[in-house]
Amino acid sequence: MKIFSFTLPLAVGGLAAWLTMGSMSQYAALVQPPLAPPAWIFPIAWTILYALMGWASLRVRQSGSPEHKNALALYYTQLAVNFVWPLLFFRVGLYGTAFWWLILLLALVLVTARAFYRIDKQAGWLLVPYLAWLIYAAYLNAGVWFLNK
């Protein structure tokens, strides 16, 4: 279970990265909002976030709580929604659609973090950096959307 907990989010992220490979040069060519990071930051940040997600899901899975299955269902749902966002943004270039999809993801992660927190406080806190990054990503997504119409 430990291996599954960590490899699942990393595999989801890795597959999304593979499917959007080569799009970072297109991204770099876009007008960027202020505070946009260099492209090399993204894979580092996402790898850390996916590892934290895996750790949080493992804690919930091992908690023995009767609510762990519902919390993990939320987790898997947000992971699926997370997988689609880079395809919308990088692969298809639907910046407006990607922004609203990201808002959906942010809401799902917030609900997931709350569910995790009720089961295991540390698991809930492990998702806080992910929430913070998604807020930042929404800012970047909105900026790209408006600056590149």
In the chain, where the domains are located: 2-147
The class of domain 2-147 in CATH terms is mainly alpha
Question: What is the DSSP code string of 12-31?
Answer: HHHHHHHHTTTHHHHHHHSP
pLDDT in tens, 102-141: 999 999 999 999 999 999 999 999 999 999 999 999 999 9
Q: Tell me what pLDDT residue 24 has.
A: 77
- Written as tens digits, the pLDDT of the chain (149 aa) is 789 998 999 999 999 999 998 887 888 899 999 999 988 899 999 999 999 999 999 999 999 999 999 999 999 999 999 999 999 999 999 999 999 999 999 999 999 999 999 999 999 999 999 999 999 999 999 999 999 98
Nearest to 89 by CA among 40, 143, 135: 143
To the nearest 10°, report the CA torsion of 48, 110, 13, 86: -120
Q: What is the pTM of this model?
A: 0.94
* Residue 36 near residue 143, CB atoms below 8 Å: yes
d(CA 99, CA 37): 18
